[in-house]
Amino acid sequence: MENTPSGAEVLKQLLQPVTVATDSKSALAGSVDVAAHSEDSKKQREHERKAEEAENEGKAHREMPPLLRRKQGLQALPDAELQSSVRLPYIGLLHRLARGMALTRRGAARGLAEHWGSLKYIQALQAGKGSLLWLSSEGRHIARHYKTLQSEELGQAFALVLAEHILRNRFPGYGVSIVHSDTALRAGWALTASERDTKDDKSASVGYRYRPHFLAEVWKPSQPSVIIPIACKGNHSGAGVSHEQLASCAAHVDGLHVGTWNQTPGLLFSTELPLDGPVTVTAAVVREA
204 versus 229: which is more confidently predicted?
A: 229
Q: For residue 1, what pLDDT is reported?
A: 45
Query: Does residue 204 surpass a pLDDT of 50?
Result: no
Range with lowest mean pLDDT among 45-59, 118-132, 227-241, 244-258: 118-132
Q: Calculate ∠ Cα 147-24-172, nearest 5°.
A: 105
User: With left for phi above 0 and alpha for psi between -120 and 50, is residue 73 left, alpha or beta?
Assistant: left
Mean pLDDT of the region 148-176: 92
Q: What's the CA gap between 238 and 277, in Å, rounded?
A: 10
Q: Which long-range contacts (CB under 8 A, 24 or more apart) does 32-37 make?
A: 32/74, 32/243, 32/246, 32/247, 32/250, 32/284, 33/74, 33/247, 34/243, 35/240, 35/243, 35/244, 35/246, 35/247, 36/68, 36/70, 36/247, 36/250
Least confident piece of the model among 21-35, 70-84, 173-187? 173-187
Task: Kindly report the pTM of this predicted structure.
Answer: 0.85
Residue 110 in this model has a pLDDT that exceeds 70:
no
Does residue 284 contact residue 247 with C-beta atoms inside 8 Å? no
- Between CA 124 and CA 274 the distance in angstroms is 13
CA distance 201 to 22: 44
pLDDT of 206 strictly over 80: no
**pLDDT computed for residue 162 by the predictor:** 94
248-264: pLDDT as tens digits: 999 999 988 888 888 89
Give the residue, 124 or 114, on which the prediction is more confident: 124
